Amino acid sequence: MNRAAIENFFATLRQANPLPVTELEYTTVFELLAAVLLSAQATDVSVNKATRRLFPVANTPAKILALGLEGLESYIKTIGLYRSKARHLMQTCQILIDQHDGQVPRDRPSLQALPGVGRKTANVVLNCAYGEAVMPVDTHIFRVSNRTGLAPGKTVDAVEAQLMQRVPPAYRVHAHHWLILHGRYICQARKPLCWQCAVRPYCDFKPKTTAAA
């Protein structure tokens, strides 16, 4: 995908959805952090179902800690890997209170020092909460970046580096949302819906068929 195609690719996505947002439900930066931490290897739908019960009861580090580990687990047990996620969230809450006055830090090293928070989770918080032009790369973005020719790479880090170089600055703040939504609903893993794709003219992928079977 050349520079002109990339520009048209994102211009088309922006025209269809000018202000994209994450499908995780949250109202505070801490709720976002907790939701993203819980979303690893789980769907946004399953996380939202759990946090709709959890956040009205406990949506601050202190309130999460007050639940206790078993209490927290009871709210999130429908999410995959809930036991380890509950443990990480409890540890994260303690660190936020002890080291950050109960607030979510806005720098990558401090975020990635929190249990259960990797580079992708830190990038999501930096982007969604603080408006930084970073590129969280999940499975959808990895697939779309490689399949379309937008930012080919064999690893998540390689794709992230390519995206930061190739996505025009005007689109970087929202780029990861557009790519996630595109991968989730159009450029799907097993069978991309190329006949429904608005950015198909700019994509390097050549489907075997042009119509739904």
DSSP character for 192? -
Distance (Å) of CA 188 to CA 143, 169, 174, 192, 211: 9, 26, 20, 5, 15
Is residue 159 a contact partner of residue 153, using CB atoms and an 8 Å limit?
yes
State the catalytic residues: 120, 138
- Count of H-run helices and E-run strands, the chain: 10, 0
Q: What is the DSSP string of 9-78?
A: HHHHHHHH-SS---SS--SSHHHHHHHHHHTTTS-HHHHHHHHHHHTTT--SHHHHHHHHHHHHHHHHTT
Smallest CA-to-CA distance from 38 within 104, 83, 94 is with: 83
| Token pair of 181 as six digits | 């939504």
